[in-house]
Chain A
């Protein structure tokens, strides 16, 4: 049934809080005879080894010898900016600036393809020019898996940095997670022909921006939204969507606005996860109305806050005879 969940636990593919990972060195004896045997291996095997290194170690092998430099350039790039920083660096402005510069160098030097780029430590507040350039590089070098968070909290009043338009032109993307951005005025050239998973956290957008993205993502299977203020209305029009994950951060989802109509039914969704706040029986009833939009759900996850009293029993409006696995994450 839930092949999607088997393939990957959806709760883990959203990026966690910044983790740092300068791996501690494994104590390793030099070869007893000091002979360089690794160089006798063919390039494809050495690339297999290089591809398993965090980016900092990968860059270090690139400075060993010209052969290793070519190897690093011809291994699809996996870059997590947290791999370039020590835990202690996170409060150190200079170290962060050095890490930021290193990310820029690597994105510029490496010819692609970019298999996975995860930027969760960068403050883009005063670096609009670099941000535009990076976005251009990500699109040009075929990024497949991108996590882009703007951690800049120096700006007040919820002013979010504008997401560069080039991010919406990364046609090679299969997985995209965005956090703390405001959407640019949409142009028509959004294209995500291969995008299977999309997550957005505290990213402000107009209702029609989400519509447009869904319309431009014909193979999207998983949509995860952690909402702040917008979009105000989520309209799911997708034939491919199989799993929907929804959190509410600062405002509860107004289920009252949910109307079941042929336009709002998404029959392909099989897994639905909601984090919600039920304060009255009415809220529960509204949730039921919302669930009618997903007639074929096989797995429903609902996470409730601990301090809210139970206001009623959920009778699921599922008419399909298939077993409904009803799991409440927190009661």
Chain B
């Protein structure tokens, strides 16, 4: 994966680390981007991931990892600024635009992403996906939520139970 030009002049050339997905694809990425993951940050601080070694990530497949790294590379400069209190409105708007576009994807990919973000402890990505899924649920009836999430249609018993719950809150079902 091509790394973007480094804005980090502290250590001369940006340090690169190698991550290895569950299906054995190697990803070379700047340490600063990979360090958005709290889990990886510890390994990288210990000097891991450099040279020919690489850090194996047995729980993350290559398609998901590539997506995760796309997020990390985009967010790394802002994260390096400590949550970017100095970021300009333009920078923030650009990140927001990126985020909105980034989660405009299939549900199955969203769930793989949130699992990976959870395992790798990437707080921002986890929140971003959780918010997206919540937005998919908001403002819908229980039946629409079921369809959106791919739940099977309720059995008559389940439907009666849903009805009772709804009435408890004074709402009619559908």
Enumerate chain A interface residues (CB-CB to B < 8 A). 22-26, 28, 30-42, 44-45, 48-50, 52-54, 57, 59-65, 69, 98, 101-102, 105-106
The answer to whether A31 touches B168, judged by C-beta atoms less than 8 angstroms apart, is: no
| A-binding residues in B (CB < 8 A) | 106-108, 111, 114-115, 118, 126-127, 130-131, 133-142, 144-152, 158, 161-162, 165-166, 168-171
Contact of A105 with B115 in the complex, beta carbons under 8 Å = no
Q: Are A25 and B144 in contact (CB under 8 A)?
A: yes
In whole angstroms, how far apart are the Cα atoms of A64 and B141 in the complex?
10
Interface centre among B137, B144, B158 (most CB of A within 10 A): B137
Task: Assess the A62–B165 pair: CB atoms within 8 A.
Answer: yes
Q: In the complex the two chains form, what is the Cα distance from A88 to B137 in whole Å?
A: 22
A54 contacts B138, C-beta separation under 8 Å: yes
9 tightest Cβ-Cβ pairs between the two chains A and B:
A25-B139, A52-B134, A63-B165, A98-B170, A31-B150, A48-B130, A36-B150, A23-B138, A63-B162
Contact across chains for B138 and A37 when beta carbons are under 8 A apart = no
Select B126's contact among A22, A48, A105, beta carbons within 8 Å: A48
Task: Let me know if B114 and A53 touch, CB within 8 A.
Answer: no
- Cα distance, A106 to B136, chains bound together (Å): 23
Q: Is the CB of A57 within 8 A of B138?
A: yes
Given the known inter-chain contacts A37-B111, A40-B111, A105-B168, please indicate yes or no for A28 contacting B151, CB distance below 8 A: no
Kindly state the separation between the CA atoms of A105 and B166 in the bound complex, as whole angstroms. 11
Contact (A37, B114) CB under 8 Å given A63-B165, A102-B170: no
Contact (Cβ within 8 A) A64 B134:
no
Q: Can you give 25 contacting A-B residue pairs, CB < 8 Å?
A: A25-B140, A26-B136, A30-B147, A30-B150, A31-B149, A31-B150, A36-B152, A38-B150, A40-B111, A41-B114, A45-B114, A49-B133, A52-B131, A52-B134, A53-B137, A57-B138, A59-B169, A61-B145, A64-B142, A64-B145, A64-B151, A64-B162, A69-B165, A102-B171, A105-B169
| Shortest Cβ gap from B145 to chain A (Å) | 6
Whole-angstrom CA separation of A19 from B142 in the bound complex:
24
Closest partner residue, chain A, to B133 (CB atom)? A49
B169 to chain A: closest residue by CB: A102
Chain A residue with Cβ nearest B173: A63
Nearest Cβ in chain A — how far from B162, in angstroms? Answer: 5
The answer to whether A65 touches B151, judged by C-beta atoms less than 8 angstroms apart, is: yes
What's the least CB distance linking A313 to chain B, in Å? 35
